Copies of this chain bind each other. A is one copy, B any other.
Amino acid sequence: MFDGGYLGKVLRVDLSSRTWQSEDIDPRIQRKYLGGRGLAARYYLDEIPGRIDPDDSANKLFFFTGPLTGTPVPASGKFQCATVSPETGHYLCSNSGGNFGPNLKFSGYDGLIIEGKASSPVYIWISDGHVEIRDATSLWGLKVRETVERLKEMTANRKISTMVAGPAAERGVRFSCIQVDGRSFGRGGAGAVMAGKNVKAVAVYGTNPVKVADAQALARAAKEAVEHARETKALHTKYGTAQYTEVLNTLGCYPTRNFQTAVFDGISTISADYMEKHYKIKNVACFRCPVACAQLCEVKEGRYAGMRSDPEYETIGSFGGQCGVSDFGAIIAANALCDEYGLDTMSTGTIIAYAMELFERGFVTRKDTDGLDLCFGNADALIETIHNIACRKGFGDLLAQGFRGLAERFPDTLSFMMQTKWMPFAAYEPRAFHGIGLSFGTSSRGACHNVGGWTIRDELLTGEYDRFAIAGKGELVKRIQDVRAYVDSLVICTVVRSGLGFTDKPTGRVLEYVTGVDFTPELLKIGERIYTLERVILAREGIRRKDDVLPERIASEPLPEGMAKGRVLTEEMYAAMLDEYYAARGWDREGVPTRERLLELEVDDRVLRAMDGLL
CB-CB under 8 A from A412, the residues of chain B are none
Structural contact, A469 and B228, CB atoms closer than 8 A: yes
CB-CB under 8 A from A238, the residues of chain B are 563
Structural contact, A239 and B563, CB atoms closer than 8 A: yes
Q: How far is the CA of A554 from the CA of B231 in the complex (A)?
A: 18
Structural contact, B498 and A463, CB atoms closer than 8 A: yes
Contact A243 B503, CB 8 Å, known A462-B232, A468-B232, A469-B231: no
Cβ < 8 Å to B, chain A residues 181-211: none
- Chain B residue with the shortest CB-CB distance to A227: B471
Structural contact, B471 and A228, CB atoms closer than 8 A: yes
Q: How far is the CA of A467 from the CA of B231 in the complex (A)?
A: 10
- Chain B residue with the shortest CB-CB distance to A238: B563
Structural contact, A235 and B456, CB atoms closer than 8 A: no
Q: How far is the CA of A495 from the CA of B466 in the complex (A)?
A: 11
Chain-B contact segment, one of A14-22, A102-110, A212-220, A245-253: A245-253
Structural contact, A467 and B235, CB atoms closer than 8 A: yes
- Chain B residue with the shortest CB-CB distance to A505: B464
Task: Please tell me if A457 contacts chain B, counting CB pairs below 8 Å.
Answer: yes
Q: Interface size (A, Cβ < 8 Å)?
A: 35
- Chain B residue with the shortest CB-CB distance to A249: B250
Structural contact, A246 and B235, CB atoms closer than 8 A: no
Structural contact, A250 and B244, CB atoms closer than 8 A: no
CB-CB under 8 A from A468, the residues of chain B are 231-232, 234-235
Interface string of A440-478 (1 = CB under 8 A from B): 000000000000000011001111101111110000000
Q: How far is the CA of A366 from the CA of B338 in the complex (A)?
A: 62
CB-CB under 8 A from A498, the residues of chain B are 462-464, 466
Structural contact, B470 and A235, CB atoms closer than 8 A: no
Structural contact, A461 and B464, CB atoms closer than 8 A: no
Q: How far is the CA of A495 from the CA of B244 in the complex (A)?
A: 25
Q: How far is the CA of A467 from the CA of B464 in the complex (A)?
A: 19
Q: How far is the CA of A563 from the CA of B463 in the complex (A)?
A: 24
Task: Please tell me if A233 contacts chain B, counting CB pairs below 8 Å.
Answer: yes
Q: How far is the CA of A272 from the CA of B228 in the complex (A)?
A: 36
Structural contact, B563 and A235, CB atoms closer than 8 A: yes
Structural contact, A461 and B456, CB atoms closer than 8 A: yes
